[in-house]
Amino acid sequence: MISAKVELDAQGTWLGFKRLLPLSMFVIAFGIAFGLAAAQTGLSKTEAMLMSALVFAGASQFAALELWQLEIPLLAIMITTFAINARHLLMGASLYPWLKEVPAAKRYGILTVISDANWAIAAQEYQRGERNLGVLFGGGLALWLTWVTGTWMGLVLTQGIPDPEALGLDMVLGCFLLTMALGGSKNLRNLVIWSVAGATSILALYWLPPNSHVVAGALAGGLVGAYWLEEKDDS
C-alpha cells in the first residue's frame, strides 16, 4: 500500500537499515583503507574516528589526507571537499519534493547520512510511491555505521606494524583512488573527466603552490562533469 503522507518511524528506519546493510558490508573495506591511510598520514586515532563519524564522506576524507601536514591548509581542504561533494547539491534537490514537508531539524538530520547508495535507492522508492523516509535514513545509518567501523578496524590493524612501507601499506591511498577511477562506468565522458583532472593535477603540481594540485584537479574534473551531463537511457 502506498502511503500518501510523508513519515519517518522506527519500523521504516529499521527496514531501510536492513535493506542497505548487505551493501554496507563492502563499505567496511574502504573504511579499513581510510584508517590505514590516516594512521600513515599521522592522524591520531581520535582525529581519524571523529573525521569518519562527523564528515562521513569517503572520497573527501581521502583527498583531505593528501593535504594533511603540520600546517593544515584549511582553505584548500574546504575547496577540495566542496568540489568533490558538489553532487550532493543535486541529490538534495532531487529529494526536495519528498523532504519539503518535513520540519527543518528532522530534514537536515536525515541529510547528514545521505550518500550515493541510500540516495539512489530512496529516489527509486519515491518514484514508486513510497513516502516513508526510513529507507533513506535507515540506509544511511547502515552505511555510516560500517564506515566508522571500518575506520576503527584500519586503525587497529596498524598497531604492532613497525614498518608499514615494508608491507606496501603506504600504497593504500594510491590504490584506493586508482580503484575509484577504474571502477566506474567505462565511457568517453568519464575518460575525459579523469584525463582532464589528472593532467590538471600534474600541471598544478609543477606550476602552482604546494598541495594546490588536488584542488585544481578536483575542480577541473568537476567542471567537465557539470557541463558534460551524463546521458540517460530512456529505453
Same domain? For 221 and 129 the reply is: no
What is the distance between the alpha carbons of residues 30 and 12, in angstroms, rounded to a whole number?
27
Domain final residue pick, 183, 200, 216: 183
Domain final residue pick, 183, 204, 220: 183
Mean predicted confidence (pLDDT) in 60-66: 83
Q: Is 5 part of any domain?
A: no
User: At 17, is the pLDDT very low, low, confident or very high (cuts 50, 70, 90)?
Assistant: very high
Same domain? For 78 and 23 the reply is: yes
Domain that holds residue 110: 10-183
Same domain? For 108 and 128 the reply is: yes
Q: Each residue of 68-110: pLDDT tens digit?
A: 876 677 777 787 777 777 778 777 888 888 888 888 888 888 8
pLDDT of residue 126: 80
Same domain? For 193 and 133 the reply is: no
| 7-21, 165-179, 213-227: segment of lowest average pLDDT | 165-179
pLDDT surpassing 80 at residue 112: yes
Q: Is 40 part of any domain?
A: yes
Same domain? For 84 and 175 the reply is: yes
CB 6 within 8 A of CB 122: no
pLDDT surpassing 90 at residue 133: no
What is the distance between the alpha carbons of residues 160 and 157, in angstroms, rounded to a whole number?
8
Q: Is 179 part of any domain?
A: yes
Same domain? For 197 and 115 the reply is: no
CB 208 within 8 A of CB 216: yes
Same domain? For 179 and 189 the reply is: no
Q: Hunting for cell 548487505 — which residue is that?
A: 22
User: At 235, is the pLDDT very low, low, confident or very high (cuts 50, 70, 90)?
Assistant: very low
Same domain? For 113 and 145 the reply is: yes
What is the distance between the alpha carbons of residues 82 and 67, in angstroms, rounded to a whole number?
14
pLDDT of residue 210: 63
Same domain? For 105 and 31 the reply is: yes
Global pTM reads 0.68
User: At 233, is the pLDDT very low, low, confident or very high (cuts 50, 70, 90)?
Assistant: very low
Q: Is 106 part of any domain?
A: yes
Q: Is 4 part of any domain?
A: no
Q: Is 3 part of any domain?
A: no
What is the distance between the alpha carbons of residues 218 and 79, in angstroms, rounded to a whole number?
9
Same domain? For 163 and 82 the reply is: yes
pLDDT surpassing 60 at residue 161: no
Q: Is 222 part of any domain?
A: yes
Q: Is 66 part of any domain?
A: yes
Same domain? For 64 and 48 the reply is: yes
The total domain count for the chain is 2
Distance of CA 217 to the CA centre of its chain: 17
Phi-psi group of 129: left, alpha or beta (phi > 0 → left; psi -120 to 50 → alpha; rest → beta)? left
Q: Each residue of 167-220: pLDDT tens digit?
A: 565 565 556 556 656 655 677 887 888 889 889 988 988 887 765 676 787 778
Residues paired with 7 in a beta bridge: 132
pLDDT of residue 51: 93
Say which residue, 124 or 214, is predicted with more confidence. 124
